[in-house]
Amino acid sequence: MDLTLLMTKGGVSYLWTRDDISPAAGEVLNNSDHQAVLFLGNLVEGKYSFTLTVTDSKGQSSTGRGTVEVKPDAYERDLVEVVLEVAVSQISQRQRDMLLRQIGVLLGVLDSDIVVREIGAFNEYSTRLVLLVSGGPGRPPLSGRSVAFSLRNKLRKQKNDFLIFKARRVDTVICQLNCSGHGECDPFTRRCVCHPFWMENFIRAQFGELESNCEWSVLYVTIASFMIVVAIATVVWGMVCCCKRRKSKARRSKSRYKMLEADEQDTLELQPPRAARLKPMPAPTSSALMHSDSDLDSDDGQNGVPWKEQERGHLLRPQNGSLRNGQGPARSKKQREELL
In a domain, 328, yes or no: no
In a domain, 198, yes or no: yes
Predicted structure pTM score: 0.57
Considering 188, 203, 226, which residue would you say is the last residue of a domain? 226
In a domain, 62, yes or no: yes
- Is 94 in the same domain as 181? no
Dump the DSSP string for 178-244: -GGGSEEEETTTTEEEEPTTEE--HHHHHHSS------EEHHHHHHHHHHHHHHHHHHHHHHHHHHH
Question: How many domains are contained in the chain?
Answer: 3
pLDDT tens across 265-317, in order? 555 555 555 554 545 555 555 444 444 444 444 444 555 545 555 445 444 45
Question: For residue 110, what is the domain's CATH number?
Answer: 3.30.70.3310
Which of the four pLDDT bands, split at 50, 70 and 90, describes residue 165? Answer: very high
- Is 81 in the same domain as 165? yes
The CA–CA distances, whole Å, from 331 to 85, 292, 315 equal 117, 20, 21
pLDDT at residue number 39:
93
pLDDT at residue number 331:
53
CA dist., res. 274 & res. 246, Å (int): 28
Greater model confidence, 133 or 297: 133
pLDDT at residue number 329:
53
Considering 158, 174, 190, which residue would you say is the last residue of a domain? 174
Note the helical H segments in the chain: 93-107, 144-157, 202-207, 218-253, 262-270, 293-297, 309-320, 335-339
User: Helix or strand or coil: residue 116?
Assistant: strand
What is the pLDDT of the chain when averaged over all its residues? Answer: 78
pLDDT at residue number 82:
94
Handedness of CA 187, 191, 197, 198 (dihedral sign): positive
Is the pLDDT at 99 greater than 70? The verdict is: yes
What's the domain range around 167? 76-174
CA dist., res. 105 & res. 54, Å (int): 55
Q: What angle do CA 95, 101, 105 make, to 5 degrees?
A: 145
Is the pLDDT at 50 greater than 60? The verdict is: yes
In a domain, 255, yes or no: no
The arithmetic mean of pLDDT across residues 319-336, rounded, is: 51
pLDDT tens across 170-184, in order? 999 998 888 888 899
Least confident of 41-50, 209-218, 292-301: 292-301
- Is 65 in the same domain as 84? no
Which of the four pLDDT bands, split at 50, 70 and 90, describes residue 111? Answer: confident
